[in-house]
Chain A
Amino acid sequence: MTDPATVRLTVNGTPREGRCPPRKLLVDFLREDLALTGTHVGCEHGICGACTILVDGEAARSCLMLAVQADGAHLTTVEGLMTDGALHPLQEAFRDHHGLQCGFCTPGMLLTALDLLRVKPAPSAADIREGLSAVLCRCTGYHGIVKAVQAAAPILRARTEQRSRP
Protein backbone atom coordinates (compact mmCIF):
# COMPACT_ATOMS: atom_id res chain seq x y z
CA MET A 1 0.00 0.00 0.00
CA THR A 2 2.50 2.56 -1.17
CA ASP A 3 -0.02 3.68 -3.81
CA PRO A 4 -1.59 7.13 -3.61
CA ALA A 5 -4.67 7.30 -1.40
CA THR A 6 -7.55 9.73 -1.38
CA VAL A 7 -7.59 12.08 1.60
CA ARG A 8 -10.88 13.82 2.43
CA LEU A 9 -10.87 16.34 5.23
CA THR A 10 -12.28 19.68 6.33
CA VAL A 11 -9.89 22.62 6.33
CA ASN A 12 -11.05 25.90 7.85
CA GLY A 13 -14.65 24.77 7.55
CA THR A 14 -14.41 23.79 3.86
CA PRO A 15 -14.45 20.15 2.68
CA ARG A 16 -11.27 19.43 0.72
CA GLU A 17 -9.91 16.39 -1.07
CA GLY A 18 -6.62 15.29 -2.53
CA ARG A 19 -4.61 12.23 -3.55
CA CYS A 20 -1.13 11.53 -2.26
CA PRO A 21 1.22 8.70 -1.38
CA PRO A 22 1.06 7.56 2.28
CA ARG A 23 4.51 8.95 3.02
CA LYS A 24 3.46 12.53 2.28
CA LEU A 25 3.56 14.72 5.38
CA LEU A 26 0.41 16.61 6.28
CA VAL A 27 2.20 19.96 6.08
CA ASP A 28 3.35 19.22 2.51
CA PHE A 29 -0.16 18.08 1.57
CA LEU A 30 -1.57 21.38 2.85
CA ARG A 31 1.00 23.43 0.96
CA GLU A 32 1.43 21.47 -2.26
CA ASP A 33 -1.89 19.72 -2.80
CA LEU A 34 -4.31 22.19 -1.23
CA ALA A 35 -2.25 25.33 -2.02
CA LEU A 36 -2.50 26.50 1.60
CA THR A 37 1.01 27.88 2.01
CA GLY A 38 0.34 29.77 5.25
CA THR A 39 1.55 26.79 7.27
CA HIS A 40 5.34 26.80 7.19
CA VAL A 41 7.77 23.89 7.01
CA GLY A 42 10.62 24.40 9.44
CA CYS A 43 12.66 21.68 11.06
CA GLU A 44 10.57 18.65 10.02
CA HIS A 45 11.16 16.94 13.33
CA GLY A 46 8.71 18.58 15.69
CA ILE A 47 11.09 20.97 17.42
CA CYS A 48 10.51 24.39 15.84
CA GLY A 49 6.70 24.43 15.84
CA ALA A 50 6.35 26.53 12.66
CA CYS A 51 4.01 23.93 11.12
CA THR A 52 1.64 23.79 14.12
CA ILE A 53 -2.04 23.66 13.13
CA LEU A 54 -5.24 22.63 14.93
CA VAL A 55 -6.28 19.02 14.32
CA ASP A 56 -9.83 18.49 15.57
CA GLY A 57 -9.38 21.60 17.70
CA GLU A 58 -6.04 20.67 19.27
CA ALA A 59 -2.64 22.09 18.34
CA ALA A 60 -0.39 19.53 16.65
CA ARG A 61 2.70 19.44 14.47
CA SER A 62 1.70 18.92 10.84
CA CYS A 63 5.25 17.73 10.04
CA LEU A 64 4.76 14.77 12.40
CA MET A 65 1.55 13.54 10.78
CA LEU A 66 1.01 11.82 7.51
CA ALA A 67 -1.63 13.37 5.28
CA VAL A 68 -3.49 10.03 5.17
CA GLN A 69 -3.81 10.18 8.96
CA ALA A 70 -5.82 13.39 8.66
CA ASP A 71 -8.49 11.70 6.52
CA GLY A 72 -11.82 12.70 8.11
CA ALA A 73 -10.24 15.31 10.39
CA HIS A 74 -11.17 18.97 10.86
CA LEU A 75 -8.13 21.21 10.51
CA THR A 76 -7.61 24.88 11.25
CA THR A 77 -4.68 26.64 9.62
CA VAL A 78 -3.62 30.28 9.76
CA GLU A 79 -5.74 30.93 6.65
CA GLY A 80 -8.81 30.10 8.74
CA LEU A 81 -8.29 32.75 11.40
CA MET A 82 -9.63 35.79 9.52
CA THR A 83 -13.39 36.30 9.25
CA ASP A 84 -14.98 38.51 6.59
CA GLY A 85 -11.66 40.14 5.80
CA ALA A 86 -11.00 41.08 9.42
CA LEU A 87 -8.01 39.81 11.35
CA HIS A 88 -8.61 37.49 14.30
CA PRO A 89 -8.17 39.36 17.63
CA LEU A 90 -5.05 37.31 18.29
CA GLN A 91 -3.61 38.41 14.94
CA GLU A 92 -4.52 42.04 15.75
CA ALA A 93 -2.69 41.67 19.06
CA PHE A 94 0.41 40.27 17.33
CA ARG A 95 0.39 43.28 14.99
CA ASP A 96 -0.19 45.79 17.80
CA HIS A 97 2.49 44.38 20.11
CA HIS A 98 5.23 43.64 17.60
CA GLY A 99 4.66 39.91 17.96
CA LEU A 100 6.27 39.18 14.61
CA GLN A 101 9.19 40.29 12.53
CA CYS A 102 10.10 37.96 9.66
CA GLY A 103 6.84 36.04 10.14
CA PHE A 104 8.18 32.55 9.61
CA CYS A 105 7.15 31.21 13.02
CA THR A 106 3.97 33.31 13.21
CA PRO A 107 1.46 30.75 11.87
CA GLY A 108 2.70 28.20 14.40
CA MET A 109 2.78 30.82 17.17
CA LEU A 110 -0.81 31.85 16.45
CA LEU A 111 -2.28 28.34 16.44
CA THR A 112 -0.24 27.32 19.49
CA ALA A 113 -1.38 30.44 21.37
CA LEU A 114 -4.99 29.88 20.33
CA ASP A 115 -4.91 26.34 21.75
CA LEU A 116 -3.19 27.62 24.91
CA LEU A 117 -5.89 30.28 25.42
CA ARG A 118 -8.63 27.68 25.00
CA VAL A 119 -7.04 25.42 27.61
CA LYS A 120 -6.11 28.34 29.90
CA PRO A 121 -8.32 31.36 29.14
CA ALA A 122 -6.62 33.51 31.81
CA PRO A 123 -2.96 32.51 31.67
CA SER A 124 -0.20 34.01 33.79
CA ALA A 125 2.91 35.36 32.06
CA ALA A 126 4.68 32.15 33.13
CA ASP A 127 1.90 30.02 31.57
CA ILE A 128 2.26 31.93 28.31
CA ARG A 129 6.03 31.53 28.28
CA GLU A 130 5.72 27.82 28.99
CA GLY A 131 3.06 27.41 26.29
CA LEU A 132 4.99 29.39 23.69
CA SER A 133 8.18 27.45 24.39
CA ALA A 134 6.59 24.99 21.96
CA VAL A 135 7.50 27.31 19.06
CA LEU A 136 10.90 28.81 18.24
CA CYS A 137 11.22 32.43 17.11
CA ARG A 138 14.61 33.73 15.99
CA CYS A 139 13.69 37.41 15.53
CA THR A 140 11.58 38.91 18.27
CA GLY A 141 13.13 37.68 21.50
CA TYR A 142 9.58 36.58 22.44
CA HIS A 143 8.68 39.65 24.52
CA GLY A 144 6.32 41.05 21.92
CA ILE A 145 4.70 37.65 21.41
CA VAL A 146 4.11 37.19 25.14
CA LYS A 147 2.59 40.70 25.32
CA ALA A 148 0.37 39.97 22.34
CA VAL A 149 -0.99 36.77 23.88
CA GLN A 150 -1.51 38.55 27.20
CA ALA A 151 -3.44 41.32 25.44
CA ALA A 152 -5.56 38.88 23.40
CA ALA A 153 -6.58 36.72 26.38
CA PRO A 154 -9.31 39.03 27.81
CA ILE A 155 -10.64 39.79 24.32
CA LEU A 156 -11.02 36.07 23.54
CA ARG A 157 -12.59 35.46 26.95
CA ALA A 158 -15.17 38.17 26.28
CA ARG A 159 -15.90 36.64 22.87
CA THR A 160 -16.43 33.20 24.40
CA GLU A 161 -18.78 34.64 27.05
CA GLN A 162 -20.75 36.51 24.42
CA ARG A 163 -21.17 33.34 22.36
CA SER A 164 -22.30 31.26 25.33
CA ARG A 165 -25.00 33.80 26.27
CA PRO A 166 -28.51 32.55 25.43
Chain B
Amino acid sequence: MKPPRFEYHAPRSVDEAVDLLGRYGGDAKVLAGGQSLMPMLNFRLTRPAALIDVNRIAALAYVREDDGVVAFGAMTRQRTIEFSPEVARRLPLLREATRWVGHLPIRSRGTIGGSIAHADPSAEYPAVLTALEGEVVAQGPRGRRTLQAAELFETYLTTRLAPDELLVEVRLPAMPAGAGHAFEEFARRHGDFAIVGIAAMVVRDGARCRTARLATAGAGPVPVRLRAAEEILERDGLGDAAIAAAAARAAELVRPDSDVHASADYRRHLAGVLTARALTRAVERAR
Protein backbone atom coordinates (compact mmCIF):
# COMPACT_ATOMS: atom_id res chain seq x y z
CA MET B 1 0.00 0.00 0.00
CA LYS B 2 0.95 3.66 -0.09
CA PRO B 3 1.19 6.25 2.69
CA PRO B 4 -1.93 8.26 3.53
CA ARG B 5 -1.93 12.01 2.93
CA PHE B 6 0.09 14.09 5.38
CA GLU B 7 1.58 17.54 5.61
CA TYR B 8 5.32 17.34 5.03
CA HIS B 9 7.97 19.50 6.67
CA ALA B 10 11.73 19.17 6.34
CA PRO B 11 13.17 21.63 8.88
CA ARG B 12 16.85 22.53 8.74
CA SER B 13 17.32 23.09 12.47
CA VAL B 14 16.34 21.43 15.74
CA ASP B 15 14.58 24.61 16.93
CA GLU B 16 12.44 24.64 13.81
CA ALA B 17 11.60 20.94 14.26
CA VAL B 18 10.59 21.47 17.89
CA ASP B 19 8.41 24.45 16.90
CA LEU B 20 6.65 22.28 14.33
CA LEU B 21 6.09 19.46 16.84
CA GLY B 22 4.54 21.98 19.22
CA ARG B 23 2.31 23.37 16.50
CA TYR B 24 0.81 19.94 15.75
CA GLY B 25 0.40 19.06 19.43
CA GLY B 26 0.98 15.32 19.14
CA ASP B 27 -0.54 14.84 15.67
CA ALA B 28 2.86 14.88 13.96
CA LYS B 29 5.37 12.06 13.62
CA VAL B 30 9.11 12.56 13.43
CA LEU B 31 10.57 10.91 10.33
CA ALA B 32 14.13 9.78 11.04
CA GLY B 33 15.57 6.85 9.05
CA GLY B 34 12.04 5.70 8.24
CA GLN B 35 12.79 1.98 8.44
CA SER B 36 9.94 1.45 10.93
CA LEU B 37 7.74 4.50 10.35
CA MET B 38 7.57 4.15 6.55
CA PRO B 39 6.24 0.56 6.70
CA MET B 40 3.67 1.72 9.27
CA LEU B 41 2.63 4.55 6.93
CA ASN B 42 2.53 2.24 3.91
CA PHE B 43 0.27 -0.14 5.82
CA ARG B 44 -1.68 2.84 7.18
CA LEU B 45 -1.15 1.62 10.71
CA THR B 46 -0.48 5.24 11.55
CA ARG B 47 -2.10 8.34 10.04
CA PRO B 48 -0.32 11.41 11.39
CA ALA B 49 -1.49 14.86 10.33
CA ALA B 50 2.11 15.76 9.55
CA LEU B 51 5.55 14.29 9.09
CA ILE B 52 8.49 16.25 10.46
CA ASP B 53 11.40 14.92 8.41
CA VAL B 54 14.62 15.53 10.38
CA ASN B 55 16.92 14.11 7.69
CA ARG B 56 17.90 17.62 6.54
CA ILE B 57 19.16 18.65 9.98
CA ALA B 58 22.89 18.20 9.38
CA ALA B 59 23.69 19.16 12.98
CA LEU B 60 22.08 15.92 14.22
CA ALA B 61 24.61 13.56 12.61
CA TYR B 62 27.86 13.17 14.56
CA VAL B 63 29.87 10.84 16.78
CA ARG B 64 32.08 12.52 19.35
CA GLU B 65 33.71 11.54 22.57
CA ASP B 66 33.81 13.83 25.54
CA ASP B 67 35.17 12.88 28.94
CA GLY B 68 34.61 9.13 28.57
CA VAL B 69 31.16 9.46 27.06
CA VAL B 70 30.49 8.79 23.39
CA ALA B 71 27.74 11.10 22.15
CA PHE B 72 25.80 10.30 18.98
CA GLY B 73 23.68 12.81 17.15
CA ALA B 74 20.21 11.28 16.90
CA MET B 75 20.44 11.09 13.09
CA THR B 76 23.70 9.13 13.06
CA ARG B 77 23.03 6.22 10.70
CA GLN B 78 23.41 2.65 11.91
CA ARG B 79 25.71 2.10 8.95
CA THR B 80 28.01 4.89 10.17
CA ILE B 81 28.09 3.26 13.61
CA GLU B 82 28.84 -0.16 12.08
CA PHE B 83 31.95 1.15 10.31
CA SER B 84 33.10 3.76 12.86
CA PRO B 85 36.62 2.98 14.17
CA GLU B 86 35.79 5.00 17.30
CA VAL B 87 32.73 2.84 18.02
CA ALA B 88 34.76 -0.34 17.39
CA ARG B 89 37.33 0.88 19.91
CA ARG B 90 35.16 2.46 22.58
CA LEU B 91 31.79 0.71 22.26
CA PRO B 92 32.37 -2.73 20.70
CA LEU B 93 29.08 -3.97 22.21
CA LEU B 94 27.18 -1.34 20.20
CA ARG B 95 29.07 -2.31 17.07
CA GLU B 96 28.23 -5.99 17.52
CA ALA B 97 24.56 -5.21 18.21
CA THR B 98 24.42 -3.09 15.05
CA ARG B 99 25.14 -6.14 12.89
CA TRP B 100 21.83 -7.56 14.11
CA VAL B 101 19.78 -4.52 13.06
CA GLY B 102 17.93 -5.56 9.90
CA HIS B 103 20.30 -5.72 6.93
CA LEU B 104 22.93 -3.38 5.50
CA PRO B 105 20.41 -1.59 3.19
CA ILE B 106 18.23 -0.98 6.27
CA ARG B 107 21.21 0.30 8.27
CA SER B 108 22.11 2.74 5.47
CA ARG B 109 19.02 4.72 6.48
CA GLY B 110 18.17 3.64 10.03
CA THR B 111 19.39 5.90 12.83
CA ILE B 112 20.36 5.44 16.46
CA GLY B 113 17.90 8.09 17.65
CA GLY B 114 15.06 6.71 15.57
CA SER B 115 15.60 3.16 16.80
CA ILE B 116 15.58 4.28 20.44
CA ALA B 117 12.66 6.71 20.15
CA HIS B 118 10.59 4.08 18.32
CA ALA B 119 11.04 1.84 21.40
CA ASP B 120 10.30 -1.45 19.71
CA PRO B 121 10.84 -3.93 22.55
CA SER B 122 12.61 -6.37 20.20
CA ALA B 123 15.09 -3.75 18.95
CA GLU B 124 18.81 -4.03 19.70
CA TYR B 125 19.76 -0.42 20.50
CA PRO B 126 17.37 0.02 23.45
CA ALA B 127 18.92 -3.12 25.00
CA VAL B 128 22.44 -1.72 24.56
CA LEU B 129 21.39 1.67 25.94
CA THR B 130 19.94 -0.14 28.97
CA ALA B 131 22.93 -2.43 29.52
CA LEU B 132 25.47 0.40 29.32
CA GLU B 133 23.41 2.81 31.46
CA GLY B 134 23.25 5.33 28.66
CA GLU B 135 21.04 8.36 28.45
CA VAL B 136 19.30 10.44 25.81
CA VAL B 137 18.99 14.18 25.43
CA ALA B 138 15.61 15.55 24.37
CA GLN B 139 14.87 19.09 23.25
CA GLY B 140 11.45 20.62 23.77
CA PRO B 141 9.96 24.12 23.87
CA ARG B 142 11.39 24.61 27.38
CA GLY B 143 14.91 23.56 26.43
CA ARG B 144 16.88 20.36 26.84
CA ARG B 145 16.62 17.59 29.40
CA THR B 146 18.34 14.26 29.90
CA LEU B 147 16.55 10.95 30.43
CA GLN B 148 18.30 7.86 31.74
CA ALA B 149 17.79 4.57 29.92
CA ALA B 150 15.99 3.18 32.97
CA GLU B 151 13.33 5.91 32.86
CA LEU B 152 13.01 6.34 29.07
CA PHE B 153 10.99 3.29 28.03
CA GLU B 154 7.38 3.18 29.17
CA THR B 155 5.86 0.26 27.27
CA TYR B 156 5.57 -1.15 23.72
CA LEU B 157 6.55 1.55 21.19
CA THR B 158 6.18 4.20 23.88
CA THR B 159 8.79 6.39 25.58
CA ARG B 160 8.45 9.12 28.18
CA LEU B 161 9.38 11.77 25.61
CA ALA B 162 6.68 14.43 25.38
CA PRO B 163 4.91 14.89 22.01
CA ASP B 164 6.69 18.24 21.53
CA GLU B 165 10.13 16.87 22.38
CA LEU B 166 12.72 15.70 19.88
CA LEU B 167 15.36 13.14 20.81
CA VAL B 168 18.56 14.93 19.75
CA GLU B 169 21.44 12.94 21.27
CA VAL B 170 22.24 9.46 22.58
CA ARG B 171 25.04 9.24 25.14
CA LEU B 172 26.81 6.00 26.01
CA PRO B 173 29.66 5.74 28.51
CA ALA B 174 32.72 4.29 26.73
CA MET B 175 33.32 0.70 27.81
CA PRO B 176 36.27 0.24 30.20
CA ALA B 177 39.49 -0.97 28.54
CA GLY B 178 39.60 -4.76 28.61
CA ALA B 179 35.87 -5.18 29.12
CA GLY B 180 34.40 -8.27 27.49
CA HIS B 181 31.15 -7.99 25.57
CA ALA B 182 28.68 -9.98 23.50
CA PHE B 183 25.32 -9.45 21.87
CA GLU B 184 23.38 -12.68 21.38
CA GLU B 185 20.13 -12.85 19.54
CA PHE B 186 17.71 -15.45 18.27
CA ALA B 187 15.52 -14.71 15.26
CA ARG B 188 13.92 -17.11 12.78
CA ARG B 189 15.81 -15.55 9.87
CA HIS B 190 18.85 -13.27 9.95
CA GLY B 191 17.67 -9.67 9.93
CA ASP B 192 14.23 -10.42 11.32
CA PHE B 193 13.07 -8.88 14.57
CA ALA B 194 14.63 -10.56 17.58
CA ILE B 195 12.54 -13.10 19.42
CA VAL B 196 14.97 -12.51 22.29
CA GLY B 197 18.31 -10.72 22.40
CA ILE B 198 20.81 -10.27 25.24
CA ALA B 199 23.40 -7.51 25.59
CA ALA B 200 26.25 -8.38 27.94
CA MET B 201 29.38 -6.69 29.25
CA VAL B 202 31.78 -7.92 31.95
CA VAL B 203 34.78 -6.19 33.49
CA ARG B 204 37.26 -8.66 34.90
CA ASP B 205 39.38 -8.13 38.00
CA GLY B 206 41.61 -11.22 38.02
CA ALA B 207 39.29 -14.16 38.68
CA ARG B 208 36.64 -11.80 40.03
CA CYS B 209 34.08 -9.72 38.21
CA ARG B 210 34.20 -6.01 38.93
CA THR B 211 31.17 -5.11 36.83
CA ALA B 212 28.58 -7.17 34.97
CA ARG B 213 25.90 -5.69 32.72
CA LEU B 214 22.99 -7.58 31.20
CA ALA B 215 19.90 -6.33 29.38
CA THR B 216 17.26 -7.92 27.19
CA ALA B 217 15.50 -7.27 23.92
CA GLY B 218 12.21 -8.99 23.11
CA ALA B 219 11.59 -10.32 26.61
CA GLY B 220 8.85 -7.92 27.71
CA PRO B 221 7.29 -4.57 26.80
CA VAL B 222 10.53 -2.68 27.53
CA PRO B 223 14.22 -3.65 27.74
CA VAL B 224 14.91 -5.39 31.06
CA ARG B 225 18.07 -4.75 33.03
CA LEU B 226 18.95 -8.07 34.68
CA ARG B 227 20.45 -6.61 37.83
CA ALA B 228 19.95 -9.66 40.08
CA ALA B 229 21.78 -11.83 37.52
CA GLU B 230 24.60 -9.29 37.33
CA GLU B 231 24.94 -9.44 41.12
CA ILE B 232 25.56 -13.20 41.02
CA LEU B 233 28.59 -12.64 38.79
CA GLU B 234 29.86 -9.69 40.81
CA ARG B 235 29.66 -11.85 43.93
CA ASP B 236 30.72 -15.29 42.63
CA GLY B 237 33.08 -14.45 39.76
CA LEU B 238 33.09 -15.48 36.12
CA GLY B 239 33.34 -19.27 36.31
CA ASP B 240 30.98 -21.70 34.60
CA ALA B 241 28.88 -22.23 37.74
CA ALA B 242 28.35 -18.50 38.22
CA ILE B 243 27.43 -18.07 34.55
CA ALA B 244 24.91 -20.92 34.82
CA ALA B 245 23.41 -19.40 37.98
CA ALA B 246 23.19 -15.94 36.35
CA ALA B 247 21.51 -17.43 33.28
CA ALA B 248 18.96 -19.27 35.44
CA ARG B 249 18.27 -16.03 37.31
CA ALA B 250 17.87 -14.14 34.00
CA ALA B 251 15.10 -16.50 32.95
CA GLU B 252 13.30 -15.81 36.24
CA LEU B 253 13.66 -12.05 35.94
CA VAL B 254 11.94 -11.56 32.60
CA ARG B 255 8.17 -11.23 32.13
CA PRO B 256 7.70 -11.84 28.42
CA ASP B 257 4.35 -11.93 26.63
CA SER B 258 3.22 -14.52 24.10
CA ASP B 259 2.64 -13.44 20.53
CA VAL B 260 2.43 -14.97 17.06
CA HIS B 261 6.24 -15.38 16.94
CA ALA B 262 6.85 -17.14 20.25
CA SER B 263 5.20 -18.12 23.51
CA ALA B 264 6.11 -16.45 26.79
CA ASP B 265 7.63 -19.73 28.02
CA TYR B 266 9.83 -20.02 24.96
CA ARG B 267 11.03 -16.44 25.31
CA ARG B 268 11.80 -17.04 28.97
CA HIS B 269 13.77 -20.17 28.06
CA LEU B 270 15.66 -18.20 25.39
CA ALA B 271 16.50 -15.43 27.88
CA GLY B 272 18.35 -18.01 29.99
CA VAL B 273 20.08 -19.76 27.08
CA LEU B 274 21.18 -16.53 25.41
CA THR B 275 22.39 -15.03 28.70
CA ALA B 276 24.67 -18.05 29.18
CA ARG B 277 25.97 -17.79 25.60
CA ALA B 278 26.50 -14.04 25.83
CA LEU B 279 28.32 -14.29 29.15
CA THR B 280 30.53 -17.14 27.95
CA ARG B 281 31.65 -15.11 24.93
CA ALA B 282 32.00 -11.89 26.94
CA VAL B 283 34.18 -13.62 29.56
CA GLU B 284 36.41 -15.11 26.81
CA ARG B 285 36.96 -11.62 25.44
CA ALA B 286 37.56 -9.89 28.79
CA ARG B 287 41.16 -9.11 29.68
Q: Tell me the A29-67 residues at the B interface (CB within 8 Å).
A: 44-46, 49, 52, 55, 58-61, 63-66
For B10, what are the chain A residues with a Cβ–Cβ distance below 8 Å?
68-69
Contact B5 A60, beta carbon cutoff 8 Å? no
Contact A59 B104, beta carbon cutoff 8 Å? yes
B277 sits at the interface (CB 8 A) = no
B190 sits at the interface (CB 8 A) = yes
Of B38, B104, B190, which one neighbours A46 at CB under 8 angstroms? B38
A1-41 vs B: 1/0 string, CB under 8 Å? 11001000000000000000111110010000000000000
B261 sits at the interface (CB 8 A) = no
B159 sits at the interface (CB 8 A) = no
Of A21, A64, A130, A131, which one neighbours B34 at CB under 8 angstroms? A64
Given the interface pairs A45-B39, A64-B38, the reply to whether A59 lies near B108 with Cβ below 8 Å is: yes
Q: Tell me the B9-61 residues at the A interface (CB within 8 Å).
A: 9-10, 34-35, 38-39, 42-43, 51, 53, 55
Contact A44 B106, beta carbon cutoff 8 Å? no
For A69, what are the chain B residues with a Cβ–Cβ distance below 8 Å?
10, 34, 53, 55
For A68, what are the chain B residues with a Cβ–Cβ distance below 8 Å?
8, 10
For A65, what are the chain B residues with a Cβ–Cβ distance below 8 Å?
34, 38, 109
Q: Tell me the B241-265 residues at the A interface (CB within 8 Å).
A: none
The segment out of A111-119, A143-151, A155-163 that lies at the interface is: A111-119
Given the interface pairs A58-B108, A65-B109, the reply to whether A46 lies near B5 with Cβ below 8 Å is: no
Q: Looking at the assembled complex, report how far the CB atom of B4 sits from the nearest CB atom of chain A, in whole angstroms.
A: 7
For B34, what are the chain A residues with a Cβ–Cβ distance below 8 Å?
64-66, 69
For A119, what are the chain B residues with a Cβ–Cβ distance below 8 Å?
83, 104
Question: CB-nearest residue of chain A relative to B9?
Answer: A1
**What is the bound-complex CA distance between A2 and B38, given in angstroms?**
17
**What is the bound-complex CA distance between A130 and B187, given in angstroms?**
14
**What is the bound-complex CA distance between A84 and B52, given in angstroms?**
42
Q: Looking at the assembled complex, report how far the CB atom of B109 sits from the nearest CB atom of chain A, in whole angstroms.
A: 5
Give the bracket for the number of chain B residues in contact with chain A: 20 to 34
Contact B7 A63, beta carbon cutoff 8 Å? no
Q: Looking at the assembled complex, report how far the CB atom of B10 sits from the nearest CB atom of chain A, in whole angstroms.
A: 7
- Chain B binding surface SS class: loop
Of A2, A24, A49, A116, which one neighbours B7 at CB under 8 angstroms? A2
Q: Looking at the assembled complex, report how far the CB atom of B248 sits from the nearest CB atom of chain A, in whole angstroms.
A: 32
Contact B6 A46, beta carbon cutoff 8 Å? no
**What is the bound-complex CA distance between A25 and B11, given in angstroms?**
20
Of B8, B79, B106, B191, which one neighbours A61 at CB under 8 angstroms? B106
- Chain A binding surface SS class: mixed
Q: Looking at the assembled complex, report how far the CB atom of B34 sits from the nearest CB atom of chain A, in whole angstroms.
A: 5
Question: CB-nearest residue of chain A relative to B39?
Answer: A45
B145 sits at the interface (CB 8 A) = no
Q: Looking at the assembled complex, report how far the CB atom of B89 sits from the nearest CB atom of chain A, in whole angstroms.
A: 19
Given the interface pairs A63-B42, A69-B53, the reply to whether A25 lies near B106 with Cβ below 8 Å is: no
A134-156 vs B: 1/0 string, CB under 8 Å? 10000000000000000000000
Q: Tell me the A67-87 residues at the B interface (CB within 8 Å).
A: 68-69
Contact A133 B191, beta carbon cutoff 8 Å? yes
**What is the bound-complex CA distance between A24 and B106, given in angstroms?**
19
Contact B103 A23, beta carbon cutoff 8 Å? no
Residue among B9, B10, B43, B102 with the most chain A CB within 10 A?
A: B10
For B55, what are the chain A residues with a Cβ–Cβ distance below 8 Å?
69
Question: CB-nearest residue of chain A relative to B41?
Answer: A23
For B106, what are the chain A residues with a Cβ–Cβ distance below 8 Å?
46, 61, 134
Question: CB-nearest residue of chain B relative to A119?
Answer: B104
Q: Looking at the assembled complex, report how far the CB atom of A55 sits from the nearest CB atom of chain B, in whole angstroms.
A: 7
**What is the bound-complex CA distance between A96 and B189, given in angstroms?**
28
B1 sits at the interface (CB 8 A) = yes
Which residues in A have some Cβ–Cβ distance to B below 8 Å? 1-2, 5, 21-25, 28, 44-46, 49, 52, 55, 58-61, 63-66, 68-69, 112, 115-116, 119, 130-131, 133-134
Top 6 A-B pairs, shortest CB-CB distance: A134-B103, A22-B8, A45-B39, A59-B105, A64-B38, A58-B108
